[in-house]
Structure 1
Amino acid sequence: MKYRESLNIVNKDLQLPAILAINSSINAEESLSRVFEVLQDFLDADGAFVNIFDVQKHSIVFVAHCRRNGFSSPLGSVEPPRSLRPLKITDKVLNCSDISEDRFTQKVLSECLPDVKSYLMLSMDKEDRHLGVVCFYSRRYDQFNEAQRNLLKSLHDSFSLMTSNALNSVLLANNRDLIHENDGLKDCVRESRMALVNRFTARTPSLKEITAKVEKVSSTEVPMLVLGETGCGKEVVVNLIQQLSKRESGPFVKLNCGAIPETLIDDEFFGHEKGAFTDAKIQKKGVFERACGGTLFLDEI
């Protein structure tokens, strides 16, 4: 009974300084280093780390790491082993006395921290969402006890706030990367569009005025009427409009309206279902359906 009471006193004495240390900085590396300094005598751990799962990149990202001697080194990110599953953490904290019993964590740490033998791992969850883990580790087997586990469990909510901030930082960095990548793709599209226009005007310098109109209308979704005598290049202009538009990757369907008998116009435009009439043995898509998402060029309309 006295032993249990003494453990509770130790936990309460350390709990407030630990919470203050965790909340002393919005930087996960600084927070972890400070709380590790508060807890290192009680836990007797060799080091600690915080990692989160980056859903966008499907990787485990180590956002903070510190060691007993004060030296910390970035651990980077690791792709989780697809063939293994992590041990289920019940009641928030897992006390693993031998890391070989947890092949998932052993595989994740095999390159960055291969000398870990045992650990206390706190699963970070908030509102049914897994944020990551906070882990205190040792180079010795069977290092941690129930009192240490209970203390770590009591700090779950404070560590959750720290992990949430770290996760937000990673998400912001990902968004910046996506914005940068998107800007690069936009530049490529602009360069590609200009290359098309330059090639077109290089062959026919007299069509610069028409090319300027093509550039203007290609950004819209309105139907267009291209006028000109037979053989003057209407299809070339329509092709250029398609290549400069948002429908560039869609189908380009051409229909010579002048060659369609009047009785087949409906069938060519809108198609028919199987069995719609005597000779309708299969379904036929009309040009409007086949050109969906792309361009429909009605020649000789």
Structure 2
Amino acid sequence: MPTPSPTDDLHFFQETVSHLSGSLELADSMVSVFNHLGNHFPLEGISLHQYSQGLNALKLLFLVREGRFDYVETLVDLTPREGALMLHFEQAGDVILERKISRGGGAAKHAQALGHLLPVEPRAYLVGILTSGNETVGHLCFIGKEEDCFTEEHERKIRLLLTPFALAMSNMLRFQRVLAFQERLNEEKRGLERALEQLRDNRIVGGLGGLGSVMEVVRRLEGREVPVLILGETGTGKELIADEVQRISPRRNAPFVKVNCGAIPEGLMDGELFGYEKGAFTGATRSRPGFFEQAHGGTLFLDEVGELTPQVQVRLLRVLQNGVVERLGGKESISVDVRIIAATHRNLEAMMKQGAFREDLYYRLYVFPVMVPPLRERKQDLEALAYHFIEKIRRRLKLPQSPSLSPRSVDALMHYAWPGNVRELENLVERAMTLWPGGPLHLDRLLPRESELYQETPENLSALERLVEEKVAACFETQMPGAQIRETKSAASGQPLQTLDEATRKCIEAALSHCRGKVHGPTGAAAVLGINPSTLRNKMAKLQIRADAWKQ
């Protein structure tokens, strides 16, 4: 074999370095290097791995083949003897040549770990230890096409490459870590900006009005960390309630991660919630922590939790029970400490009966339920909400001033049924503000005309009031038997009769006492009295009756 000239070695070295440094993208650089080195070595693949003394395992980082680069990132466990050999090779900092792979040993385990990418066949291995200063960067592994295919000349040539490879791999791996860290910082920054925007714009309007009883329930959670399940129709402001629960939580200064379960495609749900490792699926070019890991030490808000598939429900239940997650494509169990706030517009009890929602998961979430009433049952907040949205949208549209509502608009808002709740009102105000020509804001002109969307109209309001008075008076006699006789006797003895308002007050209070302060729902006071919950709330507001005074 002719002795290579220094000129040939220099040319080989320069060309390899040129390919190695041609791109900051590790994949592009290594594919280019593989194509070049294929002219000098009988290569089937090139891999890079590191030895972890603490785990006594090889950590495989990537595999390059002709025209293809794959992140591997998997662990290969070693025996104590194999680990001692690896440590000895690292300390020697030289080249290891295995002319053929024996059945046992680290090389055989390495080949098995790459078996899904490279067929396990009789091959030779040529491994160079890459060092930078006193630090071992990794092991550069040339995988041969067959047994005994590497020669002394190949050993000599790989030694020429150890220093530039060590420098390049060290820089590239550091660059990849910097990119991953920067992306994580960007994600956190975007999350903080969203949270700040919500704190600035999304105060709870109606906390002293129609939502007063709800806010009293929420205030009982101050300083506590129990799981919370927020129930209510779509668009009622469940996320705002979750924000308030977090604000008074012991974890208020810890991460608060929000997830809309209904907005994530079914195939991506596992990866988003629990994270994934590089190479777990096509396109997974880096490891990514899931929402549970991002919320570690803080709170995870699972909005629309009723949309989770049965498979994801099983994994979610396991995390809630054991406090650990396992990333897709990973083998390591990661401990997480997360408080759960969940919300849904669905009837989870009905879903349980249909087999669409797990009973054990339901009771894990249903520890402290909070019911958010629909807008049609808290109409005393309508005007304040409308003006809140007017000011919010004025700032966004950069208008010089906020318009006032026309009198007909206020009246129309009160008689509309609001099937879309608070979100529908906000959209209506935004549409009106976008079209606003000046003067009072006429929301009434943009409301739908379908008659079934209106609960009460100015024409039949007085008749409805009379009907309500009759129902309440009749109910008063039912709830408090003998009252009419006692009042008649009182009148005969010269005592004045009760006014209708007084009788109505006593009837409503009796119903609230019986229902423990609950207004709406099948077991609420409105159902007992046989009237619409919104009508009962209007009567209570008129008579200054507070439902929370009767809660037990």
What TM-score do the two structures reach when normalised by structure 1? 0.53
Cα pair distance change 1:240/1:172, threshold 3 Å: closer
Corresponding residue number in structure 2 for 1:65: 64
Distance in 2, matches of 1:158 and 1:242, equals: 53
Corresponding residue number in structure 1 for 2:15: 21
Corresponding residue number in structure 1 for 2:208: 204
Identity of aligned residues (%): 16
Given the alignment, which residue of 88, 96, 99 partners 1:97? 99
Q: Which residue identity lines up with residue 76 of structure 1 in the other structure? A: Y
Distance in 2, matches of 1:125 and 1:149, equals: 17
Distance in 1, matches of 2:200 and 2:51, equals: 38
Q: Secondary structure at the match of 2:76?
A: coil
**What's the CA shift string for 1:104-132, capped at 9, x where partnerless?**
42233222223452121222211222223
Corresponding residue number in structure 1 for 2:142: 136
- Whether 2:116 is the aligned partner of 1:111: answer yes
Distance in 2, matches of 1:243 and 1:191, equals: 22
Distance in 2, matches of 1:172 and 1:48, equals: 27
Q: CA deviation at 1:204?
A: 1.6
- 1:43-58 map, 5 Å: 43=41, 45-51=42-48
- 1:218-257 map, 5 Å: 245-246=252-253
Structure with the greater alpha carbon radius of gyration: 2
Asked if 2 retains the 8 angstrom alpha-carbon contact of 1:33 and 1:66, the reply is yes
- 1:28-47 map, 5 Å: 28-29=26-27, 31-33=29-31, 35-36=33-34, 39-43=37-41, 45-47=42-44
- 1:157-172 map, 5 Å: 157-172=163-178
In the alignment of these two chains, the number of paired residues is 206
Distance in 2, matches of 1:41 and 1:246, equals: 58
Aligned-residue Cα RMSD (Å) equals 4.3
Distance in 2, matches of 1:12 and 1:112, equals: 37
Q: Which residue identity lines up with residue 124 of structure 1 in the other structure? A: L
Q: Secondary structure at the match of 1:161?
A: helix
Q: Secondary structure at the match of 1:203?
A: coil
Task: Identify unmatched segments of 5+ residues in structure 2.
Answer: 53-57, 211-243, 256-296, 299-552
- Whether 2:85 is the aligned partner of 1:79: answer no
Q: Which residue identity lines up with residue 72 of structure 2 in the other structure? A: S
Cα pair distance change 1:77/1:49, threshold 3 Å: same
Distance in 1, matches of 2:74 and 2:191, equals: 27
What TM-score do the two structures reach when normalised by structure 2? 0.31
**What's the CA shift string for 1:242-275, capped at 9, x where partnerless?**
668527979xxxxxxxxxxxxxxxxxxxxxxxxx
**What's the CA shift string for 1:134-176, capped at 9, x where partnerless?**
3222231122122311221122111122212321232123213
**What's the CA shift string for 1:79-101, capped at 9, x where partnerless?**
11245556523442111222344
Structure 1 residue ranges, 4+ long, deviating more than 3 angstroms after superposition = 11-14, 28-42, 52-55, 82-87, 183-197, 239-245, 247-250
Asked if 1 retains the 8 angstrom alpha-carbon contact of 2:16 and 2:36, the reply is no
Task: Identify unmatched segments of 5+ residues in structure 1.
Answer: 207-236, 251-301
Distance in 2, matches of 1:120 and 1:192, equals: 58
Corresponding residue number in structure 1 for 2:215: none
Q: Which residue identity lines up with residue 15 of structure 1 in the other structure? A: D
Asked if 2 retains the 8 angstrom alpha-carbon contact of 1:92 and 1:123, the reply is yes
Asked if 2 retains the 8 angstrom alpha-carbon contact of 1:124 and 1:160, the reply is yes
Cα pair distance change 1:169/1:49, threshold 3 Å: farther
Asked if 2 retains the 8 angstrom alpha-carbon contact of 1:81 and 1:107, the reply is no
